[in-house]
Amino acid sequence: MSPAAPRLDLDKAIGDPNTRIVVCCGSGGVGKTTTAAALAVRAAEAGRTVVVLTIDPARRLAQSMGLTALDNTPRVVTGIDTSAGGQLHAMMLDMKRTFDEVVLDHAAPGRAKAILENPFYQSLSSSFAGTQEYMAMEKLGQLRAQGTWDLIIVDTPPSRSALDFLDAPQRLGSFLDGRFIRILMGPARQGSRAYLKALGAGFGAFTGMLTKILGAQVLKDMQTFVAALDTMFGGFRERAETTYRLLQAPGTAFVVVAAPERDALREASYFVERLGEERMPLAGLVLNRVHTSAAPALSAERALVGAETLDESGEHTVAAGLLRLHADLMRLHTREQHLRGRFTAAHPKVPVVDVPAQPGDVHDLAGLRAIGAALAGQIQPSRPDKRKGPPARAG
């Protein structure tokens, strides 16, 4: 096995009063929301005043945290042990509403209404790829500005690539502030003539095609939208950049979550490297849903040979079945450890903590506490879960 990576101590991270923001990221389905919620519960019960911003939590988890009203503001979570003086608020991100709030706060009064009612705005604010990331950043900025909490824990949107969280907001920001949208507004605008000329028929063909595919009405809506948005130009990119800088500040800790699977760990690698490039503070890697056995000395091979011996005798079918189960578990364990080893060899300085796969989904406070204890390194993984199917759960 490769050299042991340093162990990630998340209790230290969330216990440090200088830690003000924790961002949980990773590729799709690896356990970002679960980790964010578990850390939030743990930090609150350790005495901090915490708010957790979740994104699309599974229905039952949301219910257990009292997240039933979608009002885009944090609500107190009941059932938390507050004896250490802490408190937990939780909210689910409503991306359309957050977008509306940005418009209301920043557009000139007369314009805000026009924007909100614009059909193009309505589909942009509820379906554009990247809107969710942008609005998660936006909400983080708002929560931070509110100053009510001393620790903000942020979940990130389900996306294929963890990098989207860092890239999408700027993409949307520069699109909304960018030159293409200005050109769309028509040739009257300064500076766009040259482009149009250079493009010649191309641009006309393009708008012609947009009109054909989307319909003239949509294009018109789009132009009205852009015109109404005029007062906000510059604002979008600037806001995205402000939050981005917040993420580079020393009070922020990124927690990268991965499952012990090839794709998820590859994404985690990219992300870790990217954080380094951006000088964003990385706490470490949470390897979620690892499988272990309480009898690691019994190898898969020996267990299988034993099972075959029993098959021949035709007796002890239960023991034979258990040996086969054990062999499967050990093989899975070996494969996972191999993948883990590859990651730590490539990133020897990144602290890692293992969270064992639980026997079932995590959807109540007790389950979150168990994950929280594992995140703090307090549980020796011993409860193997053989429930999970294929080796990868990306997406």
Partner 1 sequence: MASRESDWEGVRLHVVSGKGGTGKTTVAAALALALAGQGNRTLLVEVEARQGIAQLFDVPPLPYEERKVAVGPGGGDVFALAVDPEGALLEYLDMFYRLGRAGRGLRRLGAIDFATTIAPGMRDVLLTGKVYEAARRKKDGRPVYDAVVLDAPPTGRIARFLGVNAEVAGLAKVGPIRSQADSIMGLLSSPQTAVHLVTLLEEMPVQETCDAVEELTAAGLPVGGVIVNAVRAPLLKQADLTAAAKGKLDRDLVAAGLEAAGVAIRPGVVDALLAEGKDHAARVALEKSGRRTLKGLGLPTYELPLLAEGVDLGGLYALAEQLCRQGAA
Ligand X SMILES: Nc1ncnc2c1ncn2[C@@H]1O[C@H](COP(=O)(O)OP(=O)(O)OP(=O)(O)O)[C@@H](O)[C@H]1O
Q: At what angle do helices 131-146 and 119-127 cross, to 10 degrees?
A: 80
Give the integer Cα–Cα distance in Å for 15 and 136: 24
Give the integer Cα–Cα distance in Å for 101 and 84: 35
CB 177 within 8 A of CB 234: yes
301 binds, among ligand X, partner 1, Mg ion, none (CB under 5 to 8 A by kind): none
Site string for Mg ion, 3-42 (x = CB under 5 A): -----------------------------xx---------
212: contact with partner 1 by CB under 8 A: yes
| Residues 333 to 372 in contact with ligand X, rule: CB under 6 A | 355, 357-358, 361-363, 371
Q: Which of 79, 74, 87 is nearest to 139 (CA)?
A: 74
Q: How far is the CB of 316 from ligand X (least distance, A)?
A: 29
Q: Which of 19, 34, 224, 293 binds partner 1 (CB under 8 A)?
A: 293
Q: How far is the CB of 370 from ligand X (least distance, A)?
A: 9
316: contact with partner 1 by CB under 8 A: yes
- Residue 176 identity: L
Residue where the block lists tokens 């003000």 = 20
178: contact with partner 1 by CB under 8 A: yes
Site string for partner 1, 95-124 (x = CB under 8 A): -------------------------x--xx
Give the integer Cα–Cα distance in Å for 181 and 202: 16
Q: At what angle do helices 201-214 and 216-229 cross, to 10 degrees?
A: 110
Query: Sign of the C-alpha dihedral, residues 79, 380, 291, 383?
Result: negative
- Determine how many CB atoms are found less than 10 A away from the CB of residue 149: 21
Give the integer Cα–Cα distance in Å for 37 and 24: 10
| Residues 10 to 29 in contact with ligand X, rule: CB under 6 A | 26, 28-29
369 binds, among partner 1, ligand X, Mg ion, none (CB under 5 to 8 A by kind): none
346 binds, among ligand X, Mg ion, partner 1, none (CB under 5 to 8 A by kind): none
Nearest residue to ligand X, using CB? 395
394: contact with ligand X by CB under 6 A: yes
Torsion of CA 268, 347, 10, 161, to 10 degrees: -10
List of residues contacting Mg ion (CB under 5 A): 32-33
List of residues contacting ligand X (CB under 6 A): 26, 28-34, 56, 58, 158, 288-289, 355, 357-358, 361-363, 371, 390-392, 394-395
